[in-house]
Amino acid sequence: MLIDTHAHIDMQNYLQNFDEVLSAAKLNSVEKIIIPGVEPSGYERIIELVEKYDELYGALGVHPGDSNTFNDETVSKLLKFGLNKKIVAIGEIGLDYYWDKSFVNLQKEVFTKQIEIAKELKKPVIIHDRDAHFDSFQILKSTGASEVGVVMHCFSGAVEFAKRCIDEGFYIALGGVVTFKNAKKIKEVAKYVPLDRLLLETDSPYLTPEPYRGKENRPAYVKYVAMEIANLKDVPFELVAQKTTENAVRVFNLDKVENG
């Protein structure tokens, strides 16, 4: 069994053939999928999907790139919808200095507020950290986010940063990038991170793993991520599947969610 801990399958391009996307996932042993939220206008759709399908879970958050839209109404929405049992995390939230560095302070403020909401709801956080390792780490540490659980989504740091994250109790989520030939840094991270701290994800529709790189991504392809990690660690695929599934169940408390 595999779990795709990060797939934006609430996007329009999937909704047209949604059942096919889910059955392809099932055929490839992907038994659970977490849909992260990026903006409040999408929360109702995520709730609708996770209530309709047993295998789907959701997270709610405001992406750092949309920090300027965050307001009191957003806070109420997060607190209200966040009570839903199938909403298993707050995310994706974090810092992104790649696209626009002009509103760094606002990003930090919105990130911190959302960690506080996660702590109030007692749900883990899914972190988007792009070109902002130092500040993301500082905020996660100073807010005590590891109390609720921290998932470093699409981890892009080097081994040294992975070590610091692991020392703080964070989980490292790896996706399609690990299968790319030129991704030496992330391959080193995959070798380094202990199996009891790794999570699998696709980040669908982005970052499609080999051998489908360049095409649209889907949760079924998370198996290629697991295969490459098994290959790099020189351990059986089944062990990677088992450990990463156990980790996802633990950090997202999936065994406590009542389905149906």
| In the complex, least distance from residue 126 CB atom to Ni ion, rounded to whole angstroms | 8
Q: Which is nearer to Ni ion, 96 or 203 (CB)?
A: 203
Between 10 and 203, CB nearer to Ni ion: 203
Q: Judged by CB, which is closer to Ni ion: 34, or 230?
A: 34
Q: Tell how many helices (H) and how many strands (E) occur in the chain.
A: 10, 8
Of 34 and 241, nearer to Ni ion (C-beta) is 34
The pair of structure tokens assigned to 149 is: 């659980």
Site string for Ni ion, 191-230 (x = CB under 5 A): ------------x---------------------------
Phi-psi sector, 194: left (phi>0), alpha (psi -120 to 50), beta: beta
- Smallest distance from the beta carbon of 92 to Ni ion, in angstroms? 5
Q: Which of residues 6-65 bind Ni ion (CB under 5 A)?
A: none
Which positions ≥6 away from 105 have C-beta within 8 Å?
A: none
User: What does the buried/exposed string (b/e) look like for 191-207 if buried means 16 or more CB atoms within 10 Å of the residue's CB?
Assistant: ebbebebbbbbbbbbeb
Minimum distance, C-beta of residue 156 to Ni ion, in the bound complex (Å): 12
* Cβ nearer to Ni ion, comparing 36 with 149: 36
- Taking the complex as a whole, the smallest distance from the CB of residue 223 to Ni ion amounts, in Å, to 19
- Judged by CB under 5 A, how many residues of this single chain contact Ni ion? 1
Which residue's beta carbon is nearest to the bound Ni ion?
Answer: 203
Q: Which is nearer to Ni ion, 4 or 203 (CB)?
A: 203
User: Between the CA of residue 77 and those of 52, 55, 83, 145, 238, what are the distances in Å?
Assistant: 20, 24, 10, 21, 39
According to DSSP, residue 87 is labeled E
Residue 131 neighbours by CB under 8 Å, 6+ apart: 96, 97, 98
Min dist CB 100 to Ni ion, Å, is: 17
Per-residue binder mask for Ni ion (CB under 5 A), 149-188, x = binder: ----------------------------------------
Separation CA 75–CA 117 (nearest Å):
8
The phi and psi torsions of 134 (rounded to 5 degrees) equal: -65, -50
Q: Min. distance of Cβ 6 from Ni ion in angstroms? A: 6
Please report how close the Cβ of residue 203 comes to Ni ion at its closest, in angstroms.
Answer: 5
8 Å CB contact between 221 and 208: yes
State which residue, 203 or 228, has the beta carbon closest to Ni ion.
203
6, 184, 200 from 178: Cα distances, Å? 15, 8, 11
Binding region for Ni ion (CB under 5 A) = 203
